[in-house]
Amino acid sequence: MLTKREELFGGTPDEYLSHKEKYENSTRKAVILFSLLRKIQEENNTDLTNYRNLLSGVLGASISQDGSPFGLHYIMFMPVFMSQADEEQQERWLHRALNCSIIGSYAQTELGHGTFIRGLETTATYDPSTQEFVLHSPTLTSYKWWPGGLGNTANYCIVIAQLYSKGECHGIHSFIVQVRDEDTHMPLPGIKVGEIGVKMGLNAVNNGFIGFENVRIPRTNMLMKHAKILEDGTYVKSKNSKLIYGAMVFVRVVIVFDSVNYLAKAITVATRYSAVRRQSQLKEGEPERQILDYVTQQDKILTAIAGCFAMKMNARMLWDTFNVINDQLHKGNMERLGELHALACCLKAISTSDSSLFTARCRVSCGGHGYMVSSTLPATSALTTASCTYEGDNTVLLLQTARFLLKTWRQIDTGPLTPTVEYLKTVSAPGFSYKWENSIEGIIRGFQIVSMKKISSCLNLMTAKVMSGMSQADAWNTISIQLVSAGESHCRAIVISTFHEDMSKAMRSMSASLAEVMGQLVELYAVYWTLERLGDLLEYTSISGADVVKLRSWYEELLRKIRPNAVGLVDAFDIIDELLQSTLGAYDGRVYERLMEEALKSPLNAEPVNQSFHKYLKPFMQGKL
């Protein structure tokens, strides 16, 4: 009789399963894992705070780098319900979703549209004679495409569609739709649903497609916490049209936490392997060195560790900011919604692009063995690159942040600014002067000045182009590279300052030795990004060539200081071997034995001579083919 742990983590490795077997195996594991999580959930009331903790548990405990067919049920279906459904609807469905007696998905993206959601083609037309909506996919491009779990798992989904009533289009709204029979799991009439096929990664998420052929749903299936349709078809608009976007903000906040978790796995593997792997002699006649002793290896890995700690602290700041502003939104105060959206956009974009960049570096830092699926680095790389796309393409999200920053800059002299942008006032105040200094505070100030000057420059460029006769839209597109760069600079200034401030507070309750190491990580992160963004700093601050020489020495000194604590820092993530699932990163360091153990599980090692020898090779080698 297998233990739960053996059931979850044993069996044929996923990499040797077919696409279909992988899904079936993931579903088998998911029901084991989520039965346990369901018990936890039943013991806690359901608000967004508890929910995020549960979600972190779900995602952190994702037992496969390929994700889970239940992922979307937790990641989006339920959060959207909590933010878009009215009390009656929550009463009717949320408990069933929480105890998994229904499994949901979130169907927004279509074959033809992902970013431009105002261009979505699926329609929901209200029929007052029957008090129903008629859901319809008018074109192939209107088919929903990507919703996780929709292929074979979910029996309900939230569909985002253009709402029509009394001949008028009211834009996109959310609807809950039953897609499969709860007993037979057969697709309901008028519904064409299936799975989208093999992807670069996340092949257990069961992403699907769905098309509607005049499918009727009750009026009360429109999620009506904000906007409503009355029985006679009268449309009651939301207090704020942007509230429909609320769930995307929440999920972006979750993604920042998640990007930290994925990066933590990758650097745990790469760091431990770099301590085990010995390669080349630093000095003739000496034993081969741990590759972690090579400064180029430290440059790849220790900066990733610092980035992980930095983003963890920023994820917490974002979550706290989300809670504060979400409470205000619930009380009808929309003042900081734009700031929250801009912050969630840029932190989602920067956390996922950094996580993708550093995970890829971890992969190559492990050489050939890092290219083995059994190292788990390829899957983590595939996963982190996906996070640069899902929940909003990173470029598009940074443009959203830039849009908010330009709006803020236009109003810079009209009154106080909200917390995440008040630095713009400080560094642009009359009489403010700043001379570059090689210190944490000096670096933070430098990044804030770069951000402010980029925003100011973008606005001046936009104004000049419009004055020259260019349309606002063309001017925006023409300078969009600089707009994205302004969004990134703003975010980097926030990440460095938050890391420094929050870590400084945390260090007050640490032992001197731990505080010293944490302080080194903050410095390493700040100096690394200073060297990475030298062009901006040379353009907008008084940093000199001599300063850069000293920065490089400072950087190399920090690598030397942090090296002895590298393994301890990743051990502190405390990721158990079963979740790490890595031949290179296991706690016991038996890398070579594990590589061989995993290789022997390959079906191609089941017999000494594969059948293709007799069928193909032998006749070929004998010239008979």
Ligand X SMILES: Cc1cc2nc3c(=O)[nH]c(=O)nc-3n(C[C@H](O)[C@H](O)[C@H](O)COP(=O)(O)OP(=O)(O)OC[C@H]3O[C@@H](n4cnc5c(N)ncnc54)[C@H](O)[C@@H]3O)c2cc1C
Q: Which residues contact ligand X (rule: CB under 6 A)?
A: 72, 106-109, 114-115, 146-148, 202, 207, 386, 389-390, 392-393, 395-396, 399
Residue type for 515, please?
A
- Please, what is the minimum distance in Å from the beta carbon of residue 413 to ligand LFVS4E46? 19
What is the Cα–Cα distance from 158 to 85, expressed in whole angstroms?
A: 11
Tell me the residue type at 87.
Answer: E
Taking alpha carbons only, the member of 166, 199, 151 closest to residue 27 is 151
Please identify, using beta-carbon distances, which residue of 481 and 596 lies nearer to ligand X.
481
The answer to whether 441 is a known catalytic residue is no
| Closer Cβ to ligand LFVS4E46, 259 or 365, answer by number | 259
Q: How far is the CB of 211 from ligand X (least distance, A)?
A: 14
> With respect to ligand X, which residue has the nearer C-beta, 71 or 446?
71
Distance, CA of 225 to CA of 81 (rounded, Å)? 9
Query: Contact residues for ligand LFVS4E46 (CB under 6 A)?
Result: 59, 67, 71-72, 75-76, 106, 108-109, 115-118, 148, 202, 205, 242, 245, 248-249, 251, 254-255, 258, 337-338, 341, 390-392, 396, 400, 403, 407
Tell me what percent of the chain is helix, strand and coil, each rounded to the nearest 5: 60, 10, 30
Helix ranges, 337-479 (H):
337-365, 377-386, 394-410, 423-428, 440-467, 472-478
What are the tokens at 162?
Answer: 């253009």
Judge whether 148 is annotated as a binding position. yes
Pairing outcome for strands 144-145 and 208-212: antiparallel
584 binding partner (options ligand X, ligand LFVS4E46, none; Cβ < 5 to 8 Å by kind): none
Find which of ligand X, ligand LFVS4E46, none residue 326 binds, CB within 5 to 8 Å per kind.
Answer: none
The nearest distance, CB 66 to ligand LFVS4E46, in angstroms, is 9
Among ligand X, ligand LFVS4E46, none, residue 254 binds (CB under 5-8 Å by kind): ligand LFVS4E46
Q: CA triplet 276, 279, 285: central angle to 5 degrees?
A: 120
Output 245 or 294, the one with its CB closest to ligand LFVS4E46. 245
**Distance from C-alpha of 188 to C-alpha of 185, rounded to nearest angstrom:** 9
Rounded alpha-carbon distances, angstroms, from residue 402 to 110, 117, 256, 490, 493: 26, 19, 19, 9, 14
- The number of angstroms, rounded, from the C-alpha of 160 to the middle of its chain's C-alpha atoms is 21
Q: Which does 117 bind (CB under 5 to 8 A by kind): ligand LFVS4E46, ligand X, none?
A: ligand LFVS4E46
Please check whether residue 56 is in contact with residue 250, taking contact to mean a CB–CB distance below 8 angstroms: no
Q: Which of 121, 339, 391, 523 is catalytic?
A: 391
Residue 482: how many other CB atoms lie within 10 Å: 16
Residue 111 vs 306, nearer CB to ligand X:
111
395: partner contacted, choices ligand X, ligand LFVS4E46, none (Cβ within 5-8 A by kind)? ligand X
- Min CB(414)–ligand LFVS4E46 separation in Å: 15
Active site residues: 391
User: Which residues line the annotated binding site?
Assistant: 109, 148
User: Which residues line the annotated binding site for FAD?
Assistant: 109, 148
